[in-house]
């Protein structure tokens, strides 16, 4: 929590002000999560301050909420190029990505639980200058900020998939695809990849995760024979969430349906009913 608050203050996410008349500040809360690696082991414990975006009012606290997501077909094409041309696959993660988005709307928020301020400031509220997790417009604001930075570094945004950014120079190409705060970089220009990494590290707080291991719920394993993709962890997480981890597999859904029994007095001869 202390680490999160330091990041928020460093980023100048808000300023303390008197709440204007007729303005209702939204609430916020702490969310605690455990981040896991692809093999299921614990990577780190995380605390995040999240705004209660469900209390926002359209046209007052927010307008647009849309932000594009990476298309699976684009990911497939990139992976195909990587295998056939023997390109490297590098993954970056932006720390507190949504906090970098710049707000165009006027949004006020209650003081975070546990936030220590002086007695004079305890009646004040936070006027948000940057986006925060939980806000309805946070993903759109972050993506807008990221796009602006990539264009400033001479990258072209693909028309077919706005999450794909390309740069061609000296007969070489570098490609970056982003999904929320996860980025995958590939290409045949090692100098440009290093320059891009240095540039993004200055623009945002970024972490180099090394060779791609896990993206969009897909485990990626690379060898001399090619790339092996698996969704084992994703499927197991899904079964655990739905309480179906101990279920028995069947070949087809209809096979399970045939096991259902119907009492004779429940059967109807009406057309279209069974």
Q: What is the CA radius of gyration of the chain?
A: 24
According to the model, what pLDDT value does residue 259 have? 56
The token pair at 127 is 């006027």
The token pair at 78 is 């990139």
Q: Give the three-state DSSP class for 15.
A: strand
Q: Give the three-state DSSP class for 174.
A: strand
According to the model, what pLDDT value does residue 268 have? 43
Rounded Cα gap, residues 166 and 153, in angstroms: 11
Helices (H), 18-155: 72-85, 138-152
Entry pTM: 0.67
Taking residue 33's Cβ as centre, other Cβ atoms within 10 Å add up to: 10
- DSSP H/E element including 157: strand 156-157
According to the model, what pLDDT value does residue 253 have? 66
According to the model, what pLDDT value does residue 189 have? 94
The token pair at 179 is 């999904």
Sequential DSSP letters for 180-232 = TTEEEEEES-HHHHHHHHHHHHHHS-EEEEEE--EETTEEEEEETTEEEEE-H
**Residue that the structure tokens 């202390």 belong to:** 2
Rounded Cα gap, residues 42 and 3, in angstroms: 19
According to the model, what pLDDT value does residue 153 have? 95
User: What pLDDT tens digit does each residue of the chain (274 aa) get?
Assistant: 888 888 888 888 888 889 888 888 888 999 998 888 767 788 888 888 888 877 666 655 556 556 667 888 898 898 889 988 989 999 988 877 777 777 778 888 988 888 877 777 778 889 988 888 878 777 788 888 899 999 999 999 999 899 999 999 989 999 999 987 788 999 999 999 999 999 998 888 788 888 888 887 788 888 888 888 888 888 888 888 888 888 877 777 666 555 555 444 444 444 443 3
According to the model, what pLDDT value does residue 72 have? 85
Q: What pairs with residue 26 in β-bridges?
A: 109
């Amino acid at each position: 929590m202390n680490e999160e608050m330091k990041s928020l203050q460093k980023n100048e996410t808000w300023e303390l002000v008197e709440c204007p008349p007729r303005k209702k500040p939204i609430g916020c809360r702490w969310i605690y999560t455990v981040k896991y690696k692809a093999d299921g082991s614990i990577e780190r414990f995380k605390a995040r301050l999240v705004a209660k975006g469900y209390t926002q009012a359209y046209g007052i606290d927010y307008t647009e909420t849309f932000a594009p997501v990476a298309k699976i077909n684009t990911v497939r094409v990139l992976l195909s190029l990587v295998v056939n041309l023997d390109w490297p696959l590098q993954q970056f993660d932006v720390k507190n990505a949504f906090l970098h988005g710049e707000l165009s709307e006027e949004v006020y928020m209650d003081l975070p639980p546990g936030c220590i301020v002086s007695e004079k400031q305890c009646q004040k509220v936070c006027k948000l200058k940057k986006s925060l997790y939980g806000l309805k417009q946070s993903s759109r604001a972050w993506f807008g900020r990221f796009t602006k930075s990539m264009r400033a570094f001479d990258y072209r945004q693909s028309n077919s998939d706005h999450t794909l950014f390309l740069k061609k120079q000296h007969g070489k190409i570098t490609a970056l695809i982003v999904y929320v705060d996860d980025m995958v970089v590939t290409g045949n220009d090692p100098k440009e990849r290093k320059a891009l990494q240095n540039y993004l590290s200055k623009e945002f707080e970024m972490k180099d995760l090394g060779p791609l291991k896990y993206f969009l719920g897909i485990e990626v394993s690379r060898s001399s024979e090619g790339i092996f993709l698996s969704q084992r962890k994703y499927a197991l997480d899904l079964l655990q969430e739905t309480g179906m981890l101990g279920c028995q597999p069947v070949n087809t859904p209809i096979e399970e349906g045939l096991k259902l029994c119907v009492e004779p007095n429940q059967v109807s001869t009406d057309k279209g009913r069974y």
